[in-house]
Chain A
Amino acid sequence: MSDLLRDLDFFNLDDLLTAEERMARDSVKQFVRREVLPSVEKHFAGETFPKELIPQMAELGMFGANLKGYGCAGMNNVAYGLIMQELEAGDSGLRSFASVQSALSMYAIYANGTEEQKRRFLPEMAKGKLIGCFGLTEPDHGSDPGGMETRARKDGDGWILNGTKRWITNGSIADLAIVWAKVDEGITGFVVERGTPGFSARDIHGKFSMRASITSELILEDVRIPRTAHLPQARGLKAPLGCLTQARYGIAWGAIGAARSCYQCALDYTKSRKQFTRPLAGYQLVQAKLVEMLTEITKAQMVCLRLAHLKDQGKMRPEHVSFAKRNNVNEALEIARHARDMLGANGIVNEYPVIRHMLNLETVNTYEGTFDVHTLILGRDVTGESAFD
């Protein structure tokens, strides 16, 4: 089997990338090849996150890579997307970690915090010294975050938080949680630090997907936090949704990485495995699947590159991101399922990465706006009619 992380570039899209963008991609690809792949199956099997990689990821500058200042790399969004793609070509859990740290937690502070909060948290988060998590979803409110039950009430100079958050990536390993809660004026955000009395995290076990990633429940029982923990620019649901737009952008790219690894694996496998008289790749049914995979990956690449350019020009709308996330993750999942099938019995063992990607992508299809919710977002955009309730 040759290099499963190799690029797939049917339409010479590399010509549209700058040397720096390619360099960023290749650097992260090399990191994934050398540091991630050798141990990822062990972590997936053991339901552990490869924490030992955090310092190296920080050294490489991956956290908050597309943010400016505060110790962040300040790369453009093409480079940021390519980084997410390469991470997810390794494992969706690793990309999730980077997304939550960068696009959700760091961005929440970057976009909604005071100058003092930014200076205090962002450089340490870029260095990987502080890990963040993002508490929006609740046990009873997933696609409907506006219905959240977590409450914050003023208490003297500070705030008191009560509520439960669920399906929180990095929850129990995080040093700080961005917690979204309702106040009299609507939804707003807070930075809750680990160790604050009344605040605890409990891991969710029994996952068949995203096993190399930590998923937790956050419990807030009369958690008293100071005035300085409030993110003052976060006014209304659009604040957390703005963070989700950033994360979904990275997911749209990441899905290409997982799909590409599955495609390369299926291609190598079917070229080398002989059944009846010739390699599997010589049969029409197999070729049809490979061509379908190639086509969808290439289309997803084109969508993402255009999306990146729009984002860099400040012209990207959340609906563009919904389009890309919805399509790319859905297609990646289909590609992974096809690849799983093409590997036959070998497709169910961890000697090949395909089943791991396939299982992971079930999560990716659901989180950060399910396929159906993005359909409704786009439906509302084209018709002007909201079909949410």
Chain B
Amino acid sequence: MKILVPIKRVPDPATTIRVLPDGSGIATDNVKWVINPFCEIAIEEALRIKEKQTGEVILLTVGQTTWQEQLRTGLAMGADRAILVKTDAALDQLAIARIIAKVAGDEKPDLVILGKQAIDDDSNQVGQIVAETLAWPQATFASKVEFAGDKCTVIREVDGGLETIAFKLPGLITTDLRLNEPRYASLPGIMKARKKELKEVAADSLGVDLAPKLKIKRLDAPPKRQAGRKVASVEELVQVLHTEAKAI
């Protein structure tokens, strides 16, 4: 099976994020960049599918030259080749989705699998737009994926339970947290990744409309938590919840 895995580079979840004073973005000095954890799960799932069957795992990302590093990490995990669609512009989700759909159109994979959302902007829509653009079936928030011939069965995590759906390939899957536990990039894998193909394509050469439809006006850090206070009795607690917090 030929599998396309679009991935995103995000700040390391262990990094402390600081919003710039003017609210235009986050301070990127001393930020460590990693593969979005949901995308890592997508890479792992693609590798497992490939190991069970045969095929090819192709990574794709849209960003600056430095994003190569995350592609190399994915190649070190075991992906076969990678494509970097290069741009210095800050593209919105629609433009990213259009690029992914374009590459999918050219590469003709049987499956596109990607994270359900990125941990930086949490937008949760790229996968859905890609499927719609390609007019492919989509199974989002996958917690289990199985194949029988060209039929794919996906168990989805939905509010209050699980939903099982099936579709015929080609199709698109977005991954949830519990789908798998990604492997580490092994040291021999890192050495092998050196020789794998990493193709760069200029974003504006794809003939895709990249004009942003969405503008981030400003970012604000979460408000500082106020210190709580102690109450003397259950009665007072109920009273305060009723009169001040208006929770009951």
Name A's B-contacting residues (CB within 8 A): 2-3, 5-7, 9, 19-20, 22-24, 26-28, 30-31, 59-62, 65, 73-75, 79, 83
Provide the residues of chain A in CB contact with B189, threshold 8 Å.
61
Provide the residues of chain A in CB contact with B187, threshold 8 Å.
24, 27, 60-62, 65, 73, 75, 79, 83
What is the minimal beta-carbon distance from A383 to any residue of chain B, in angstroms? 41
| A75 contacts B32, C-beta separation under 8 Å | no
Q: 8 closest Cβ contacts across the A-B interface?
A: A61-B187, A73-B187, A3-B14, A27-B185, A61-B188, A61-B186, A73-B188, A27-B184
28 of the cross-chain contacts (CB-CB < 8 Å) are A2-B16, A5-B14, A6-B14, A7-B32, A19-B68, A19-B69, A19-B72, A20-B72, A20-B190, A23-B73, A23-B76, A24-B187, A24-B190, A26-B34, A27-B190, A28-B184, A31-B184, A59-B184, A61-B186, A61-B187, A61-B188, A65-B187, A73-B186, A73-B187, A75-B190, A75-B191, A79-B187, A83-B187
Given contacts A5-B14, A23-B72, A61-B188, 18 further A-B contacts (CB under 8 A): A6-B15, A7-B32, A19-B68, A19-B69, A20-B72, A23-B190, A26-B73, A27-B76, A27-B184, A27-B186, A30-B184, A59-B184, A59-B186, A60-B184, A73-B186, A73-B190, A74-B188, A79-B190
Provide the residues of chain A in CB contact with B34, threshold 8 Å.
26
Query: In the complex, which of the residues A23, A59, A62, A75 has the most CB atoms of chain B within 10 Å of its own CB atom?
Result: A23
Provide the residues of chain B in CB contact with A26, threshold 8 Å.
34, 73
Across the two chains, which residue of chain A brings its CB closest to B16? Answer: A2
Provide the residues of chain B in CB contact with A6, threshold 8 Å.
14-15
What is the minimal beta-carbon distance from A341 to any residue of chain B, in angstroms? 26
Separation of A28 and B34 alpha carbons in the complex (Å): 14
Provide the residues of chain B in CB contact with A3, threshold 8 Å.
14
What is the minimal beta-carbon distance from B117 to any residue of chain A, in angstroms? 21
**Count class of interface residues, chain B:** 20 to 34
Separation of A181 and B34 alpha carbons in the complex (Å): 50
Separation of A204 and B212 alpha carbons in the complex (Å): 67
In the assembled complex, B108 has its CB within 8 A of some CB on chain A: no
What is the minimal beta-carbon distance from B61 to any residue of chain A, in angstroms? 15
What is the minimal beta-carbon distance from A273 to any residue of chain B, in angstroms? 16
Across the two chains, which residue of chain A brings its CB closest to B66? Answer: A19
Separation of A166 and B124 alpha carbons in the complex (Å): 59
Separation of A7 and B12 alpha carbons in the complex (Å): 12
What is the minimal beta-carbon distance from A29 to any residue of chain B, in angstroms? 10
Inter-chain residue pair count (beta carbon < 8 A): 60
Separation of A79 and B187 alpha carbons in the complex (Å): 9
In the assembled complex, B48 has its CB within 8 A of some CB on chain A: no
Provide the residues of chain A in CB contact with B14, threshold 8 Å.
2-3, 5-6
Provide the residues of chain A in CB contact with B242, threshold 8 Å.
none
Across the two chains, which residue of chain A brings its CB closest to B13? Answer: A3
Provide the residues of chain B in CB contact with A59, threshold 8 Å.
184, 186
Chain B residues 158-196 with CB under 8 Å of chain A are: 184-191, 193-194
Chain B residues 1-57 with CB under 8 Å of chain A are: 14-16, 30, 32, 34
Across the two chains, which residue of chain B brings its CB closest to A75? Answer: B187
Separation of A129 and B184 alpha carbons in the complex (Å): 20
Provide the residues of chain A in CB contact with B186, threshold 8 Å.
27, 59-61, 73
Provide the residues of chain B in CB contact with A61, threshold 8 Å.
186-189
What is the minimal beta-carbon distance from A257 to any residue of chain B, in angstroms? 16
Separation of A9 and B193 alpha carbons in the complex (Å): 26
Provide the residues of chain B in CB contact with A5, threshold 8 Å.
14
Across the two chains, which residue of chain A brings its CB closest to B183? Answer: A59
What is the minimal beta-carbon distance from A66 to any residue of chain B, in angstroms? 9
Known: A2-B14, A2-B16. A20 touches B184 (CB 8 A): no
What is the minimal beta-carbon distance from B222 to any residue of chain A, in angstroms? 16
Across the two chains, which residue of chain B brings its CB closest to A126? Answer: B188
Separation of A62 and B190 alpha carbons in the complex (Å): 12
What is the minimal beta-carbon distance from B160 to any residue of chain A, in angstroms? 29
Provide the residues of chain B in CB contact with A83, threshold 8 Å.
187
Separation of A28 and B185 alpha carbons in the complex (Å): 9
What is the minimal beta-carbon distance from B33 to any residue of chain A, in angstroms? 10
What is the minimal beta-carbon distance from B123 to any residue of chain A, in angstroms? 25
Chain B residues 67-86 with CB under 8 Å of chain A are: 68-69, 72-73, 76
Separation of A337 and B12 alpha carbons in the complex (Å): 30
Partner among A2, A20, A60, A65 whose Cβ is within 8 Å of the Cβ of B194:
A20
Provide the residues of chain A in CB contact with B184, threshold 8 Å.
27-28, 30-31, 59-60
What is the minimal beta-carbon distance from B218 to any residue of chain A, in angstroms? 26
Separation of A23 and B76 alpha carbons in the complex (Å): 9
What is the minimal beta-carbon distance from B217 to any residue of chain A, in angstroms? 30
Separation of A79 and B193 alpha carbons in the complex (Å): 15
Separation of A20 and B34 alpha carbons in the complex (Å): 14
What is the minimal beta-carbon distance from A18 to any residue of chain B, in angstroms? 10
Provide the residues of chain A in CB contact with B15, threshold 8 Å.
6
Separation of A5 and B14 alpha carbons in the complex (Å): 9
What is the minimal beta-carbon distance from A296 to any residue of chain B, in angstroms? 21
Provide the residues of chain B in CB contact with A23, threshold 8 Å.
69, 72-73, 76, 185, 190
Across the two chains, which residue of chain B brings its CB closest to A4? Answer: B14
Separation of A31 and B209 alpha carbons in the complex (Å): 41
Provide the residues of chain A in CB contact with B76, threshold 8 Å.
23, 27
Provide the residues of chain B in CB contact with A62, threshold 8 Å.
187
Separation of A19 and B68 alpha carbons in the complex (Å): 9
Separation of A4 and B194 alpha carbons in the complex (Å): 30
What is the minimal beta-carbon distance from A213 to any residue of chain B, in angstroms? 22
Provide the residues of chain A in CB contact with B32, threshold 8 Å.
7
